[in-house]
Amino acid sequence: MFLKRNTDDMGILGSLLRYGILLIFVVYFAVPLIWLLVAPSRDVTQITSDPNPFAFGSVDRLVTSWQNIMSYNGGEVALWFGNSVKYSLFALIGSLTISIPAGYILAVKRFPGRSLLLWLTLITMLLPASALVLPLFLELNIVHMINTQWSVMLPSLFFPFGVYLTYIYYASSLPPEILDAAVVDGCTETQTFWHVALPLATPLLGLLGFINFTANWNNFFLPYVMLNDDTLYNLPVGVQAMISSTSALRPGFNPTPGAISFQFADAAMIGLIMIVPVVIIFLFAQRYVISGAFTGSVKG
């Protein structure tokens, strides 16, 4: 009777409505990205008066944008890029080295204090990272660590989300028989973790690596508060410093007479330098997130 209905029946009008709404948001998400991609090749007249906002400008202007950015403050952008790589890799390796064993043991062992540790992990994991920035500043100020690279790198070692995901991963997908077998074979706890549990964690490492690296690469508020010395900046704070000290986003404003007058194209170029590594990682790692693996971990 009703079975002849198309299983995906949403009606012609409904279908149009669905595609219409989805398309509007494609425009909203894609247009700024495409604009940013071509902007470094467009000089100021093209950006302000070319009727086609997505037309490629010229290779010359692209090269000029690159050179302007690379020569800014004696090549500081390369330094910031290097700092970003250093801070992010330190956070990635350090926080995973600390979080994965902790999450693992919380999943496989019962010991006094375990419950408290799980609760504290949950609470701090759900806390927005920015809520701790000013308190962290006040704390590190007592030990005179402000304006050092450690003020950015050390706090990044605390990664409760990593502990929680690891805990869920082992609690839900590691068969207890495997661990029992390892114990019967005479493995110590450490050997079991190293030779049995860790090799099974590849999907976990993919997801955690993605979340951790992008969060630290994009970290702005913490280094912005902690660092004064511009040679210590990471890229996000560097981009902000460049924007604030040049005419890049303020046509006509030029605080240093005789310096290069920066244009939108230059600002867009440094923007691209900052986001391209993340976009590559996004495309590479999205299956972990988009496939719903992330939700599975929330669901437990």
Partner 1 sequence: MANLNISAGAPMAAEVGVSRRPQARWQRGLTPYGFVLPYIVVMLLFGLGPGIYAFLISFADFGGGVPRYFAAGFRNYMVAFKDFRFGFTTTNIISFLGISVPLGIALVVMLALLLHMRPGRLSSALRTIYFLGGAVTGPVLVLVFIIMLNPLLSPFGPLLHVMGLNSFDDVVTPHTLAFLFTIIGFFSGAGMWIAIQYGALEGIPVELLDAAKIDGCDAWNQLLYIKLPLIRPYIIYQFILIFAGNVQLFVEPQLMGNQTYVQGNVPHIWSPNQLAYSFAFEMGNFGAAAALSLLMLLIGLGASYLVIRWTGFFNIEAR
Residue ranges in 102-121 that form contacts with partner 1 under rule CB under 8 A:
102, 104-111, 114-115, 117-121
Q: Which stretch binds partner 1 (CB under 8 A): 63-71, 72-80, 83-91, 96-104?
A: 96-104
Four-CA torsion 220, 223, 224, 229, nearest 10 degrees: -140
Q: Could you identify the residue written with the tokens 């940013």?
A: 36
Q: Does 262 bind partner 1 (CB under 8 A)?
A: no
In 3D, which of 238, 286, 270, 220 has the Cα closest to residue 36?
270
Residue with smaller CB distance to partner 1, 64 or 247: 247
Residues 50 and 10: their CA atoms lie apart, in Å, by 42
**In sequence order, which residues have a C-beta less than 8 Å from that of residue 116 and are 6 or more positions away?**
none
241 CB neighbour count, 10 Å cutoff? 18
In 3D, which of 108, 112, 116 has the Cα closest to residue 177?
108
Q: Does 139 bind partner 1 (CB under 8 A)?
A: yes
Cα 24 off chain centre by: 26
Q: Does 150 bind partner 1 (CB under 8 A)?
A: no
Q: Does 93 bind partner 1 (CB under 8 A)?
A: no
Q: Which residues 33-52 are close enough to bind partner 1 by CB under 8 A?
A: 33, 35-36, 39, 47-48
Residues 285 and 289: their CA atoms lie apart, in Å, by 7
Q: Does 185 bind partner 1 (CB under 8 A)?
A: yes
Residue with smaller CB distance to partner 1, 98 or 260: 98
Residue 286 C-beta: closest distance to partner 1, Å = 6
Residue with smaller CB distance to partner 1, 202 or 295: 295
Q: Which residues 5-34 are close enough to bind partner 1 by CB under 8 A?
A: 5, 7-11, 14, 18, 21-22, 25-26, 28-33
Residue 195 C-beta: closest distance to partner 1, Å = 15
